[in-house]
Amino acid sequence: MALAGAAIMAAVCASAGEPLRAVASVSRRPDPAYATARPQPLPDGIRVPSYAPGQMPFHPGQELVYQASWIGIPAASGKVVLRPDHGDPALLTAEIWINTNRLTDKLYRMRDYLREDFTAGALKPAEMRIHQNEGRRHDTFNVTFDHRDHVVTLVKHGPRGQQTRKFLSNNPSGPVSGAMMALTQPLKVGDSLHFDAFSGTTRYVFELKVVRRERIGTPLGEFDAFRIVPSVSYLSGGTIDDKVHDTTLWVSADARRLPLRVESAVFIGSVRIELVKVIDDVSAGRQATDSARP
């Protein structure tokens, strides 16, 4: 995804997947996962731990709404909705929408959508679908997670046909399931979390480091927040250049673990995405709640 959408996704998810394009400058190289049907493991020496989920900070029916700006100019909006999966009571479904505004549309139009299904208890991803409509790019991505055989299959459908990649992973995460797992952990300053995340046709291994606790002002009021810095240690089919854009996340330090803000340096200026509204029950008249305020 393009940078603005990636940054919004980072705010919505508080980690994982496509947002990492906001923290890594990538040069592509041939990916062996394209060249063979054999699932590709991680390179030797890269290990990703598994985590047990803690208390879930979000509930089905909840919606988080974000606004993005570039050098102070409103640019885009995003939202994430968590719902029960009516086809399988053991699953939860998260949906994310990203839309540029009319002004930004004149430069670069974006209408992106992501849906991820994951288990309600263990937060294990089951399936993900992404519709990418950015500028002239109109692609669909399907990702499936086979936990029995530890295989993640990523399929891209686009104007040039179909492309498939397969990877071996013992502890895979999707953009939302990985974010949820991170937010359920008992965070404290100095902690580092590592995830093996998949989104689109790319595999990311990245770290979330809690660098400090501080008071910040947001559109929803002031919060005690954890300042979290993400970094990428591995990217499938590419290399991470030395010129890494600075990205910082802020998550509320209370039990709600609200992803409050993300800031990312870009070629010119910076992008800021902020949580502007929390809706506790989407089905109950879509009224904004004041419970997000400190």
**pLDDT tens, residue by residue, 34-74:** 545 689 999 999 999 999 999 999 999 999 999 999 889 99
Q: What is the pLDDT of residue 245?
A: 55
Mean per-residue pLDDT for 251-265? 93
Mean per-residue pLDDT for 258-265? 91
Percent of the chain scored above 90 by pLDDT? 64
Q: What is the pLDDT of residue 241?
A: 52
Predicted confidence (pLDDT) per residue in 126-140, tens digit? 999 999 998 888 999
Q: What is the pLDDT of residue 240?
A: 62
Q: Which amino acid is at 203?
A: R
The pTM is what? Answer: 0.85
Q: What is the pLDDT of residue 7?
A: 42
Mean per-residue pLDDT for 235-253? 75
Predicted confidence (pLDDT) per residue in 75-134, tens digit? 999 999 999 988 899 999 999 999 999 999 998 899 999 999 999 999 999 999 999 998
Q: What is the pLDDT of residue 31?
A: 52
Q: What is the pLDDT of residue 54?
A: 94
Q: Out of 102-111, 212-221, 265-274, which region has the weakest mean confidence (pLDDT)?
A: 265-274
Q: What is the pLDDT of residue 82?
A: 94
Mean per-residue pLDDT for 218-226? 97
Check whether 273 has a pLDDT greater than 70: yes
Check whether 8 has a pLDDT greater than 50: no
Instruction: In whole angstroms, give the CA distance from residue 106 to residue 133.
Output: 15
- In the structure, what pLDDT confidence band is assigned to residue 239 with cuts at 50, 70 and 90? low
Q: What is the pLDDT of residue 289?
A: 45
As a whole number, the mean pLDDT across the chain is 83
Mean per-residue pLDDT for 145-172? 95
Mean per-residue pLDDT for 226-249? 77
Instruction: In whole angstroms, give the CA distance from residue 155 to residue 153.
Output: 7
Q: Out of 21-25, 75-79, 105-109, 213-217, which region has the weakest mean confidence (pLDDT)?
A: 21-25
